[in-house]
Chains A and B, each alone.
Chain A
Amino acid sequence: MELSGSQMVIEALRKENVSVVFGYPGGAIMNVYDEVYKQNYFRHILTRHEQAAIHAADGYARASGEVGVAFVTSGPGFTNAVTGLATAYMDSIPMVVISGQVPISMIGTDAFQEIDAVGISRPCVKHNYLVKDVKDLPRILKEAFYIARSGRPGPVHVDIPKDVSAHMGEFDYPDEIKMQTYRPTYKGNPRQIKKAIEAIANAKRPVLYIGGGAINSNASAEVREFARIAGIPAVETLMARGIMGDENPLLLGMLGMHGCYSANMAMSEADLMIAFGPRFDDRVTGKLSEFAKHAKIIHVDIDPSSIGKIVPIDYPIVGDLKNVVDAMIPLAKEHIDENKYKPWRDLLNRYDEIHPLKYEDSNEILKPQWAIERVGQLLGDKAIICTDVGQHQMWAAQFYPFSYPRQWVTSGGLGTMGFGLPAAMGAQVAMPSKTIINFTGDGSILMNIQELMTAVESKIPVINIILNNQFLGMVRQWQTFFYDKRYSSTDLTVQPDFVKLVESFGGRGFRVHTKEEFDIALEEALKSNTVCMIDVHVDRFENVLPMVPSGGTLYNMMLEYKE
């Protein structure tokens, strides 16, 4: 079948069961947009900025587990998309991003809206392609989807020159693909798995350290089952929230810079760490030489380069986590006695009783943590929680009661302010029956505020809850702790009227100063079925605690801040 390059894009998306594309048109991608107009296989959602198109595709991928897809044009369209690509790459999110490029004959001439897109995207994608011949396009698109979703997932960028999208060629789209140079390992080495089980059976103080790989591998059920059988306490990274479920008695909580005391102490006192798909981020480890000093380490990861990158590993297992844990479960039943770890579990539970996550509530002024807990009480598992980046993000990770994987959508690795609203839109499109809450800050929300227009136009009823402290709160907190309260460029008292702002776009706005107002606003927002903004005025100087200062040790947390 002879098709144009643009028609091939549409047909490939159809073959890949893509149901939604986020994007923004422009000169070099117009051929593709002309075919978007003619087709009815998938929905196209016009964002109001290319960065938001990528974040929305990313949010869609995180919430659904499917590959997110976005279209952008050449030049500035593409450069605007870069933050989105980098965000997805750092968190291993499967995406295919297709950009237009100037015609092949004009490449290298500094043509209008020309930029070396693959040169720019190379370090922030899993792989990229510049399509030079339409006959390669079906293979490249097939590879792009395959690479994005297989192995350690990640974004793939395909740059299509305008003449290539017009050229005609044979459309032969393979169902299956085998690549000469790319073959991820899924099955763990049975001998390594056996050794790991022996190490666990011999340990006295084992801890499960669960990372974002557990989400990508859809391994929540297996990990919960393994933990239950083996009776091993677990800690989750920011990316892994929801894997164990917060009701689970074995879950201590999140670890790391703003992790809870018991989780960080478990890491510090463990004699064996069982790492399920984390990557030993510096926000998790603190000072490396003191990190889990007493522990031997088992590390299961699908990406061999992740193993041993930060700390030496005693028992490396390369493979898909779901697959590996599945193989570990019967061995655990046979060889591991969960009673053996009871004293260890009791100790950790005592740590949790001594220093639980806490905040001091007030009747004078709203506390941001209260707002998050309140949403948790009212919505619980009915909501998918998205965030921007900063204090509100950490409070949401600490205080929202997560109960299942993919309930939590946040930019962990890159820490991208402006991610929340567009990602929440993507999550809503993926999960139309869920309530989508975007906890955001008065700083972050303005970084992609134009997306209120997309949400109104495309009827995406995301509820944005601004924890408004009129500060860039996290930076302000560091200035309070480490810079003698010199609040350099963090005071945001000059800000828009967020209620009028969202209403000018056609959404609903609420301003909240009290608990009663908060409940009423949330109830109204839930009924409104349109994009909402709840501007919650909270204590300006609340800090995220506990805290491991940058370069500090996990066992020496700052539990409270004294003037």
Chain B
Amino acid sequence: MEQIRRVLSVIVLNEDGVLSRISGLFAGRGYNIDSLTVAPIPKTNLSRLTIVTSGNTAVLEQIVKQLHKLIPTYKVIESGTFVEKELALVKIPLNEDFNGLDAMLKAYNGTIASSNEDFIVVMVADDYERIDNFLKAIKKYNPIDMVRSGSVAMDI
């Protein structure tokens, strides 16, 4: 059956071990985690996890139900429209020719996040597919390291 990419926004009690319950559920039942981000929701006792997963429709339905079944799960937001963004950091040696880099950063909502005598670190925040493209395009500057954050999403 066809594999579908799905973004899940999961609201859980912000308590000890809750992340292990979620990651253990995915591991134990053989579900995929393509990316996972987690942070507390301000002024509440809750945390939000954004999980990007994939599977066929039956598997995705089970993932949502199994997440609901966990005692500390408050809410699983699976449908509707999400604004989904991801952040990437790329380290490039200073001896590269930076011709065109500025234009590329502009095109991907990017900026230079840090620099020293040996390299610069550029940062972009964009849709996950555009991050894919950016990371392909940036290769021509021979980056020495790349880090992706995984998606964060907000339902609208």
Smallest CB separation, B31 vs chain A (Å): 13
Tell me, yes or no, whether A304 is within 8 Å of chain B by CB.
Answer: yes
Question: With A305-B62, A305-B66, A305-B68 given, is the CB distance from A132 to B24 under 8 Å?
Answer: no
Counting CB contacts under 8 A, is B20 at the interface? yes
Q: How far is the CA of A119 from the CA of B66 in the complex (A)?
A: 18
Given contacts A118-B17, A122-B21, A308-B61, contact A181 B66 (CB under 8 A): no
Which residue of chain B has its CB nearest to the CB of A147? B71
| Contact, CB under 8 Å: B13 / A305 | no
Q: Do B24 and A181 touch (CB < 8 A)?
A: no
| Interface size, chain A (Cβ < 8 Å) | 19
Residues 113-156 of A at the B interface (beta carbon under 8 Å): 118-119, 122-123, 126-127, 130, 132, 147
CA distance A309 to B60 in the complex (A): 11
Q: Digit string of B70-84 for contact with A (CB within 8 Å is 1, else 0)?
A: 011110000000000
How close is A560's CB to chain B, nearest CB, in angstroms? 38
A228 CA / B76 CA spacing, docked (Å): 41
Given contacts A180-B74, A303-B69, contact A122 B20 (CB under 8 A): yes
In the complex, the answer to whether B16 meets A181 with C-beta atoms within 8 Å is no
Chain B contact surface mostly = helix
Q: Tell me if B28 counts as interface (CB < 8 A to partner A).
A: yes
B24: chain A residues at CB < 8 Å are: 122-123
Complexed CA–CA distance, A303 and B13 (Å):
21
Q: Considering the chains assembled together, what is the distance between the CA atoms of A130 and B21 in angstroms?
A: 13
B38 to chain A, nearest CB (A): 16
Tell me the bound Cα distance from A181 to B17 in angstroms. Answer: 16
Bound complex: CA A356 to CA B2 (Å): 45
**Residue-by-residue, is A241-273 near B (CB-CB < 8 Å gives 1, otherwise 0)?**
000000000000000000000000000000000
Contacts of B28 in A (CB 8 A): 123
Distance A429 CA – B13 CA, assembled complex (angstroms): 39
Which residues 300-354 in A have Cβ within 8 Å of B in the complex? 303-305, 308-309, 312
Compute how far the CA of A524 lies from the CA of B44 in the bound complex, rounded to whole angstroms: 66
Does A182 make an interface contact (CB < 8 A)? Answer: yes
Which A residues are CB-close (under 8 A) to B20?
119, 122
From A179, which residue of chain B is reached at the shortest CB distance? B71
Interface centre among A123, A305, A308, A312 (most CB of B within 10 A): A305
Binding site for B on A (CB under 8 A): 118-119, 122-123, 126-127, 130, 132, 147, 179-182, 303-305, 308-309, 312
Binding site for A on B (CB under 8 A): 12-13, 16-17, 20-21, 24, 28, 45, 58, 61-62, 65-66, 68-69, 71-74
Q: What are 30 A-B contacts with C-beta separation under 8 Å?
A: A119-B20, A122-B17, A122-B20, A122-B21, A123-B24, A126-B71, A130-B16, A130-B17, A132-B16, A180-B13, A180-B45, A181-B12, A181-B71, A181-B72, A181-B74, A182-B71, A303-B69, A304-B65, A304-B69, A305-B62, A305-B65, A305-B66, A305-B68, A305-B69, A308-B58, A308-B61, A308-B62, A309-B62, A309-B65, A312-B58
> Which 9 residue pairs of A and B lie closest in terms of their CB atoms, listed nearest first?
A305-B65, A127-B71, A181-B74, A305-B69, A182-B71, A123-B28, A304-B65, A305-B66, A122-B24
